[in-house]
Structure 1
Amino acid sequence: MTAQPQDIPLFLDLPGRTSAYRVAEVRPQVSGIVLKRLFEEGSEVDAGQQLYQIDPATYQASVQSAEADLAKARATLKSVEAKAARYADLVRVHAVSRQDYDDAVASLDQARAEIMVAQAALKTAQINLGYTKVYAPIRGRIGKSSITEGALVTANQATALATITQLDPIYVDLRQSSSDLLRLREALAQGQLASSESGGGAPVHLSLDGTAHLYGPVGTLQFSDVTVDPDTGAVQVRAVFPNPDKILYPGLFVRAQVEQGMQKNVVSLPQDALVRRPDGSALVWVVDAQNQVTPRPVSVSRMTAEGTWLVTGGLNGGE
């Protein structure tokens, strides 16, 4: 083969696990008896879809009581307003005392405040009545229901009624060795590597554990953490993948190839073209102008995901 220096993208093979893009635990916000369950376990639900119906009778009564209190407060306000208006005319001609007028004005302010209190109470009652209908907060696949019709639920209980998981897209959390990360940054600083043209959105290829073929859709690198796990010495990397067919589920063990940069002006050689000497150094057999082969020491940086060696020194183009 003829050596042809070129710029080769480098990929790092990393282990990881899938995790849900969003997870919502559905809990009641009011107490009562569940009258209906309005979904099928394991089905897809839309955001805003009603899932449960809690008995609304007591909350409807609370709304009616709050409406009556508001009407009473408004009726009281009309009477106090009329009295305050009359006293305003009478106090000018000294027909009533200044104290009586001040009491009338204070009663007017109090009546207006009572209307605001009644309005707030009515709003609270209406909100609680609305909470008797339990809706899905996100779109996704809903799991099993922890309760059935006739069960008593309480506001903000610890046990979720059901859990909704959004599977499309899906996260893949990867672990990169901190030593690999340091070597990568050193190579970038020394100019041995060029930064990926795709930057923070570097493409990520995924393969499922135990299978040789790659997962179809290509993901994108979302972020790399800035802290090192003291227990494992690894840095977390997160990628996001489209999952339209729901093939990936949270908790799967996967392996991903993440683009790390561009190795500049290197020769890619198959494994059988490179020989390792006892001291660990590498050499290749080069054909000279007289059509004879001689050993040539070379510098090797790493092996690619395809199983070829990247030679960074010792060979010239066309040899």
Structure 2
Amino acid sequence: MSRWKIVAIIVVVLVVAIIGYRIVHRPTGFQRGKGEDAPIPVTVVPATRENVPVYLTALGTVSALNTVTVVPQATGQLVSVNFKEGKEIKKGDVIAQIDPRTYQAAVEQAQGKLAQDQALLSAAKYLASSYENLGKKQYVAAQTLQAQEQTVRQYQAAVLADKAALDSARVQLGTPPSARRSMAWPGCAWWTSAT
């Protein structure tokens, strides 16, 4: 026999052996009707109306539509930051508190100066009233009466300035108009400075 005939017989025998092996060792799913053409089991439930959550996962940068820069009106060390990331804040909410000891002395000093100038104003008014009565009787010169009236106006202005200084010393850090706070100072620089 020729060499090519031997090779052809070996190839035919191998093909027949492979086909026979496949037929004998066929998966059990095909034999029982559970193969690719078998029906797929499903569960049936009545249709209902429900909310379906929608999730979106993505990478990107988020930027606020509106931002507000909060600047303190007083200089001092922060005692507390009274908001959380993303919390709604309203106008008038206290968002941070500065250590009151740093400006309590200024408040007390302004109160003392106001009380002092109010006492001086009261004394000047009393003296002006006395000079006015004495001026009607020609016991005091008109120039002295005018000088005392000027002193009264001077102390009235001083009292107004003292009230403004007291109001300024009573500053409490507040919020801008209603907003949502984000990006709190991480590790917060616990010292603020009025700019």
TM-score range, shorter chain: 0.5 to 0.7
DSSP-derived class of the 1:155 partner? coil
Which letter maps to 2:107? V
Higher helix share: 2
Partner of residue 89, structure 1: 133
Do 1:70 and 1:119's aligned partners in 2 also have CA atoms closer than 8 Å? yes
Structure 2 residue aligned with 1:243: none
Partners of 1:35 and 1:75 in 2: CA distance: 37
1:145 match: secondary structure: coil
**CA–CA distance in structure 2, aligned partners of residues 136 and 108 of structure 1:** 41
Paired with 1:96 and 1:136, the residues of 2 have a C-alpha distance of 58
Higher strand share: 1
Residue number in structure 1 paired with 2:193: 154
> Residue 36 of structure 1 contacts residue 52 of structure 1 at CA under 8 Å; is this kept in 2?
yes
Residue ranges of structure 1 left out of the alignment (5+ in a row): 1-17, 157-319
Answer whether contact 1:45 1:140 (CA < 8 A) is retained. yes
Question: Which residue in 1 is equivalent to 2:180?
Answer: 140
Q: What's the offset of the Cα at 1:28?
A: 2.4
The answer to whether residue 142 in structure 2 is matched with residue 98 in structure 1 is yes
Q: Do residues 46 (structure 1) and 46 (structure 2) align?
A: no
Alpha-carbon offset, residue 135 of structure 1? 3.2
Which structure has the bigger radius of gyration? 2
Q: TM-score, normalised by structure 1?
A: 0.38
Gaps of 5+ in 2: 1-61
Query: Which stretch of the first structure deviates more once superposed, 64-73 or 43-52?
Result: 43-52
* Shift, 1:147, TM fit: 4.5
The answer to whether the Cα contact below 8 Å between 1:50 and 1:136 also exists between their aligned partners in 2 is: no
Q: 1:117 and 1:40 mapped to 2: Cα distance?
A: 39
**Corresponding residue of 1:123:** 167
Contact 2:87 2:182 in 1 (8 A): yes
**Relative contact order, higher structure (CA 8 A, sep 6+):** 2
Q: How many angstroms apart in 2 are the aligned matches of 1:143 and 1:102?
A: 62
Aligned counterparts of 1:79 and 1:141: Cα–Cα separation in 2: 52
Percent sequence identity is 27
Aligned to 1:37: 81
Distance apart, 1:79 and its partner CA? 0.9
C-alpha contact (below 8 Å) 1:80/1:104 kept by paired residues: yes
Post-superposition CA distance 1:193-217 (Å, at most 9, x none): xxxxxxxxxxxxxxxxxxxxxxxxx
Q: What is the count of residue pairs matched by the alignment?
A: 134
Deviations 1:265-306 (A, max 9, x none): xxxxxxxxxxxxxxxxxxxxxxxxxxxxxxxxxxxxxxxxxx
CA RMSD of aligned residues (A): 2.5
Is contact 2:78–2:191 with CA below 8 Å preserved after alignment?
A: yes
Instruction: Kindly indicate whether the alpha-carbon contact (under 8 Å) linking 1:45 and 1:142 is maintained by their aligned counterparts in 2.
Output: no
The answer to whether the Cα contact below 8 Å between 1:34 and 1:52 also exists between their aligned partners in 2 is yes
Cα shift readout 1:44-68 (whole Å, capped 9, x = no counterpart): 2222443322112122221121111
TM-score normalised over the length of structure 2: 0.60
User: How do 1:14-93 and structure 2 match up within 5 A?
Assistant: 20-41=64-85, 43-48=86-91, 49-93=93-137
